[in-house]
């Protein structure tokens, strides 16, 4: 995939994140304030903020996928070392295994290409892995890079290091998946609960026009602002409760 195409895809995704954030914020603000101008301006601000939130979420997803694929790389690395390959050639073989499992959509594939390119330039593998770990900022990759560096210098068992790393990553991934499965239902319940107050407001708008007019006067704006803050805080709190890391 060319850099121009990747840049276009990213720009499209950022635009989608802005529009999504703008629409969600506008609906929420309009329900609480019933003022088009105020809702529009504040929704624009949140749309920009939502781009940053989307970037953060994308990075977290990228790191999770990187961790998944790095486990497969470690497994392939261990197999190649067992078959008698040198550690440098083992990384080339690991790329072939990764292609079979994930295809061209692999996020680790480009990183492996970069590692193999540096190896062809005779750069020390332990330095390459340390730089790769600093770039990814994934705990398991960083741990492997540090252990590998020590094992390389002291003549440690690289096969055992690779196998042990793959086993540890697998255990953490399975625990994370179990936790996500367990709290998936609660997350859905939380999302439904956050929609109920908005549904009640809409219900009164439709069934009893004018019933809530007293809440949209100038004097009542501070009250609605406090309620909005409580609503947003409750939503963020529910998300934070379900955000469990291993």
User: Which residue do the tokens 């480009």 mark?
Assistant: 110
For residue range 3-17, list pLDDT tens digits in order. Answer: 554 554 577 888 899
| pLDDT score, position 45 | 94
8 Å CB contact between 32 and 224: yes
Q: Which residues of 51-76 are buried (b: 16+ CB within 10 A; e: fewer)?
A: beebeeeeeeeebeebbbbbbbbbbb
SS3 7: helix
In angstroms, rounded to a whole number, what is the distance separating the alpha carbons of residues 205 and 16?
30
For residue range 25-45, list pLDDT tens digits in order. Answer: 999 999 998 889 999 999 999
For residue range 200-214, list pLDDT tens digits in order. Answer: 888 888 888 888 888
Of 232, 237, 239, 234, give the one whose Cα is nearest residue 187. Answer: 239
| pLDDT score, position 69 | 85
Please give the residue that has the higher pLDDT: either 157 or 107: 107
| pLDDT score, position 242 | 63
> Percentage of the chain surpassing pLDDT 90?
15
Please enumerate in sequence order all residues whose Cβ is within 8 A of that of 104, keeping only pairs 6 or more positions apart, or say none. Answer: none
């Amino acid at each position: 995939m060319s850099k121009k195409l990747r840049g276009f895809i990213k720009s499209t995704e950022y635009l989608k994140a802005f529009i999504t954030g703008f629409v969600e914020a506008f609906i929420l603000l309009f329900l609480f304030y019933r003022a088009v101008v105020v809702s529009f301006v504040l929704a624009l601000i949140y749309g920009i903020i939502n781009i940053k939130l989307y970037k953060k979420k994308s990075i977290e997803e990228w790191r999770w996928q990187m961790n998944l694929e790095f486990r497969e790389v470690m497994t392939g690395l261990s197999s190649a070392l067992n078959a008698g390959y040198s550690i440098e050639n083992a990384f080339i073989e690991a790329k072939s295994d990764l292609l079979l499992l994930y295809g061209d959509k692999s996020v680790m594939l480009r990183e492996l290409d970069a590692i193999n390119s540096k190896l062809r330039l005779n750069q020390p593998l332990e330095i390459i892995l340390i730089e790769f770990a600093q770039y990814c900022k994934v705990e398991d990759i960083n741990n492997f890079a540090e252990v590998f560096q020590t094992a390389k210098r002291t003549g440690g068992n690289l096969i055992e290091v690779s196998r042990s790393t793959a086993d540890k990553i697998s255990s953490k991934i399975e625990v994370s998946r179990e936790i996500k499965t367990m709290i998936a239902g609660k997350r859905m319940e939380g999302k439904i609960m956050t929609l109920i107050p908005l549904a009640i407001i809409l219900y009164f708008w439709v069934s009893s026009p004018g019933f809530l007019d007293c809440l949209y006067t100038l004097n009542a704006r501070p009250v609605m602002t406090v309620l909005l803050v409580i609503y947003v805080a409750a939503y963020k709190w529910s998300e934070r409760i379900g955000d469990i890391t291993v």
